[in-house]
Structure 1
C-alpha cells in the first residue's frame, strides 16, 4: 500500500499519464503514415500534428509533476526537452540554468512550482530556474502579474482558507511534497517579479 494519500494520488497521476501516452503516440504514428502516403490536407494535418504534440508534451510534463517521483534522476537534456515541448505553444519561457542531472523528486517540485508561477503570470513571462546545493530558486519576470494573496499563502502554510480549483491543485501539493522532503516553500512577490524557492 502507498505510504500516504499524496503517494496514492501520485500513483493515479502516473497511471493516467501512462495510459494516455500510448494512444497519443499511435495517433502521431498514424499522422506520419498519412504524411508519407500524401493523404489529407496539409493545413488539417498540421493542425492535428500540433494538437498531438501539445497533448504529448503536457502528459510528459504532468507525469513528472503529478506522478510518482521515485529515486531516479532526470538529465539536463530530458528536463529541458520536456519544458521546451510543454512551453512551445505557450506565453512562457523557462531558462534552465542547471548543468547536471537532478533527482526526480526535486524536478517534481520544480515543475509544480512552475505551474504556480504560470498562475501568477497569466499573460506570459520568463522563469529562470537555478539551484544552489539543495536549494532551488525560480524567478519569474513578467510585464503584468495577477496574484491571489489567499492562494499564494497556501504555499507557506500548506493550509488553504479557500477551496482550491482543479487548476490550482499545484498550490496544495507543492508545500506537502516539500515538507515530506524536509523543505519549506517560500515566495516573494514584487511588482513585476515572483521568486519561489524550496
Structure 2
C-alpha cells in the first residue's frame, strides 16, 4: 500500500465516521428525552442506551485511528475521556501516562497500537503508553495472550506474506502511517506481554 492509498483510506475513514456520528448523537439525544419524560423504562431501554453509547465511542475512536490526522494537538482530557468510553464497552484497560497535549497524528499511531494489542487479548488486559524524547512505547499485558505470530513478526516491515483481513487492518496501517511520519515500528512479544515502539 503506497502513501496515496493510505491518504485515501484516511479520507474514507474520516468521511464514514463523520457521517455516522451525527445520527448516533441524535439517537442518544432522543433516548435522553424519552428517559426524562419516563416514556420508556426497563432493561430494553438500558440495552438500547448501552448499544448506542458503545457505537458512539467506537466511531469517535475509529475517527482518530482511521481518519486523516495532522499536527494539531489533542489534549489529555479529550484523549482520556475517549479511552474511558472505549473501556466501558470492551475488556481492555488503557493507561495513558502522557500529561501534555499530543499531535493528532501521533495519537492516531497510538490508537492503531491499542487495536493491535487488543487483538491479542481475547480475555482482556491492560495497554500502557509511555513516551521519552518523542519515542513511544506501548505495552500490552494480559494473563493469557493469543498472539498471531505471523502478523506481529511483520509489523516492523509492513510486508505481510498472507492477505490481511478487515479485522487485521490496524497491523497494515500502523507501519505505513509510522513510515509516512518518518518513524519505524519495532515489536517484542512474550507469553504475557506485547510491546510496540515507534
TM norm structure 1:
0.96
Structure 1: 5+ residue stretches without partners: none
Q: What is the match of residue 171 of structure 2? A: 171
Q: What is the match of residue 131 of structure 2? A: 131
Alpha-carbon distance in structure 1 between the residues aligned to 2:105 and 2:189? 25
- Please give the root-mean-square deviation of Cα atoms over the aligned residues, in Å: 1.0
- Please state how far the C-alpha of 1:142 moved relative to its aligned partner: 0.4
- Please state how far the C-alpha of 1:43 moved relative to its aligned partner: 1.5
Q: What is the match of residue 103 of structure 1? A: 103
3-state SS of the aligned residue for 2:136? Answer: strand
Which sits farther off after the overlay, 145-154 or 167-176? 145-154
Deviations 1:111-160 (A, max 9, x none): 00110001112211011111112100011110011111111122111101
Alpha-carbon distance in structure 2 between the residues aligned to 1:197 and 1:121? 18
Deviations 1:7-27 (A, max 9, x none): 111000000000000000010
Alpha-carbon distance in structure 2 between the residues aligned to 1:144 and 1:43? 33
Q: What is the match of residue 31 of structure 2? A: 31
Alpha-carbon distance in structure 1 between the residues aligned to 2:70 and 2:184? 20
1:154–1:172: 8 Å Cα contact kept in structure 2? no
Query: Aligned pairs, how many?
Result: 196
Q: What is the match of residue 157 of structure 1? A: 157
Deviations 1:73-126 (A, max 9, x none): 100010111111012121110011001000000000000011000111221101
Q: What is the match of residue 74 of structure 2? A: 74
Q: What is the match of residue 50 of structure 2? A: 50
TM norm structure 2:
0.96
3-state SS of the aligned residue for 2:156? Answer: helix
Alpha-carbon distance in structure 2 between the residues aligned to 1:15 and 1:86? 21
Alpha-carbon distance in structure 1 between the residues aligned to 2:73 and 2:123? 32
Q: What is the match of residue 94 of structure 1? A: 94
